[in-house]
Amino acid sequence: MSARILIVDDLVPNIRLLEVKLTAEYYDVVTATNGHDAIDIAKTEKLDLILLDAMMPEMDGFEVCRQIKSDPNLAHIPVIMLTALEESHNRVRGLKVGADDFITKPINDLILMARVRAQLRIKMITDQLLSHTGYSVANSQSVLEQIGQQQARILIIEDNETRARKLSEPFHHKHLIRIEGDPRAAIQAAKAGTDTIIVSLVSTNFDGLRVCASLRFDEKTKDIPILALGDLEDESRLVRAYDLGVNDLLLRPIETEEIKARVDSQLRRKFFTDSLRDNFNENLEMVISDPLTGLGNRRYFDRKIETLFELLENEGEAFSIMVFDIDHFKRVNDILGHDMGDTILKEVAARLVSNMRAMDIVSRYGGEEFIIAMPKTNAAEALLAAERVRSFVGGTPVYIGGQAHIITTSAGVAEVQPGEKLRDVFKRADAALYRAKQQGRNKVMPAEDLNQAA
């Protein structure tokens, strides 16, 4: 489904003109001729962007934008305000009530579409983070309230000292400013950590567009907001800047209040997406990690081992798996208690990790069972490794409350054969583990090969 855009203007001809332009670019368009209808549509329709005329009777666009951005359920919808008013204080007013961008009429088609695409890209990223974390803007108000108080690191890339100093003046009282006139040094500074970047497109000693491209295509800087500064006459460069992923564009001459408002807007979005991304990473860690031992869990193992199956199939690279189980663990829990059992699980996990290679995949597969995948390892090598681990675990007591407890493990080992799935090789290794248990425990047993199993 294409992006859904709401056009709000009290003049029907203006709506029709924009509608034709947007539908030609395959956007899905909804329209409203007044502010009240616009707000109702925003509440009931799933919108990706709002194009909002600033000057309308009854309720002007500034008030519509303020109400939309103050509603936690709507605040994440990007708003581009459109106006014939050229004074910068009107743009500042729009940005301060929450507008994400501001376009002055008559509208340049190329600039309009470039800005629409830029806002839709940002909306898509925010939507993905919200869906992954389970958060919504509505239940993230505590985060949003703190954002305005944060000190930011702002990097200004400008080779003219006078222009650079003027650009930095509005921010010194609150933020940390770094000015770089050398693009290589600037890119290194960005990689070291910054919250927003102001790039001049009119510098004489470097190509600002090339700097933007380098920043956008580097993993360490691709998500940092970029505010580019350019000249209205250089239309092709302005459009190209948006295509390269610049977040916002400010035309010279630069008004102090406007650059402050635009930078503040970018910082709010940056800090909000950072908080969502941190939450997502934390949730992901919880999803793929066993909280007791700190090892990967079953989901983590199943995901990581996919690469080993691909290497076996495509390049014939051998690998093996080992399934470890703590002997008589139910008895341990019954006699010593579950807290002591947890302590033993953590200790066994630590010993497993300390005796395996960095490339090995060690996971708690459930209960007292652990599973290890050993890349580039055949069955004979895996048996030696499993025997080493079994001997180490059982040969060193676990001390709990000053008392020494001997804990042993049993293991089944299987080399993965071409054409096998994880469930197949696990079944063979688990059957070998069962034989080790039957033969007195504290043993390592090899799995039967496929011919024997058949």
Residue 218 lies in a domain: yes
Is residue 144 packed enough to be buried (19+ CB in 10 Å), middle (13-18) or exposed (0-12)?
middle
**What pLDDT was estimated at residue 92?**
87
CA distance linking residue 178 with residue 173, whole number of Å: 14
CA distance linking residue 288 with residue 423, whole number of Å: 19
- Cα 200 to chain center, whole Å? 28
Residue type, 48: D
Beta strands in 181-247 (DSSP E): 196-200, 226-230
Residue type, 42: A
Q: Which residue, chain included where needed, has tokens 């390049």?
A: 315
- Asked which of 280, 310, 334 is the last residue of a domain, the reply is 280
**What pLDDT was estimated at residue 389?**
92
Residue 48 lies in a domain: yes
Residue 215 lies in a domain: yes
pLDDT tens sequence across 21-71:
999 998 999 999 999 999 999 999 999 999 999 999 999 999 999 999 999
What is the CATH number for 354?
3.30.70.270
> Residue 109 corresponds to which tokens in the numbers above?
């088609």
**What angle do helix axes 235-243 and 109-133 make, rounded to 10 degrees?**
20
DSSP conformational letter for 195: S
Contact 116, 128 (CB under 8 A): no
58 and 153 fall within a common domain: no
103 and 1 fall within a common domain: yes
CA distance linking residue 67 with residue 52, whole number of Å: 13
**What pLDDT was estimated at residue 121?**
83
User: Per residue, what are the HEC states of 268-333?
Assistant: HHHHHHHHHHHHHHHHHHHHHECCCCCCECHHHHHHHCHHHHHHHHHHCCCEEEEEEEECCHHHHH
61 and 167 fall within a common domain: no
- Asked which of 253, 280, 307 is the last residue of a domain, the reply is 280
Give, in order, the Cα–Cα distances in Å from 286 to each of 130, 133, 289, 292, 295.
Answer: 17, 12, 5, 11, 11
Contact 190, 224 (CB under 8 A): yes
87 and 203 fall within a common domain: no
* Cβ-based neighbours of 231, under 8 Å, separated by 6 or more: 201, 202, 251, 252
DSSP conformational letter for 412: E
326 and 448 fall within a common domain: yes
**What pLDDT was estimated at residue 142?**
52
Residue 141 lies in a domain: yes
Residues noted as catalytic? 368
Going by DSSP bridges, is the β-strand pair 369-375/319-326 parallel, antiparallel, or unpaired? antiparallel
102 and 202 fall within a common domain: no
**What pLDDT was estimated at residue 357?**
84
Residue type, 381: E
* Cβ-based neighbours of 330, under 8 Å, separated by 6 or more: none
What is the CATH number for 42?
3.40.50.2300
DSSP conformational letter for 151: -
Residue 287 lies in a domain: no
Domain with 59, as residue range(s), is 1-107
Contact 335, 397 (CB under 8 A): no
Each as own residue / partner, the long-range contacts of residues 102-110 (CB below 8 Å, 24 or more positions apart, any chain) are 107/18, 107/82, 108/235, 109/21, 110/235, 110/239
Considering only CA atoms, which of 379, 373, 383 is closest in space to residue 415?
379
327 and 376 fall within a common domain: yes
412 and 317 fall within a common domain: yes
172 and 211 fall within a common domain: yes
**What pLDDT was estimated at residue 454?**
44
Residue 130 lies in a domain: no
**What pLDDT was estimated at residue 136?**
52
- Asked which of 228, 251, 280 is the last residue of a domain, the reply is 280
Block means of pLDDT (10 residues each) for the chain, length 454 residues?
A: 89 95 94 97 95 95 95 90 81 89 86 88 73 53 58 95 94 93 96 95 94 93 93 88 90 90 87 71 60 85 90 93 94 84 90 85 90 94 94 86 87 95 94 95 89 50
Residue type, 306: E
261 and 310 fall within a common domain: no
Contact 116, 87 (CB under 8 A): no
CA distance linking residue 162 with residue 176, whole number of Å: 19
272 and 315 fall within a common domain: no
Residue 122 lies in a domain: no
Is residue 237 packed enough to be buried (19+ CB in 10 Å), middle (13-18) or exposed (0-12)?
middle
82 and 4 fall within a common domain: yes
Going by DSSP bridges, is the β-strand pair 403-405/398-400 parallel, antiparallel, or unpaired? antiparallel
Give, in order, the Cα–Cα distances in Å from 90 to each of 70, 252, 267.
Answer: 19, 16, 21
Domain count, the chain: 3
Residue 60 lies in a domain: yes
Percent of the chain with pLDDT over 70: 91
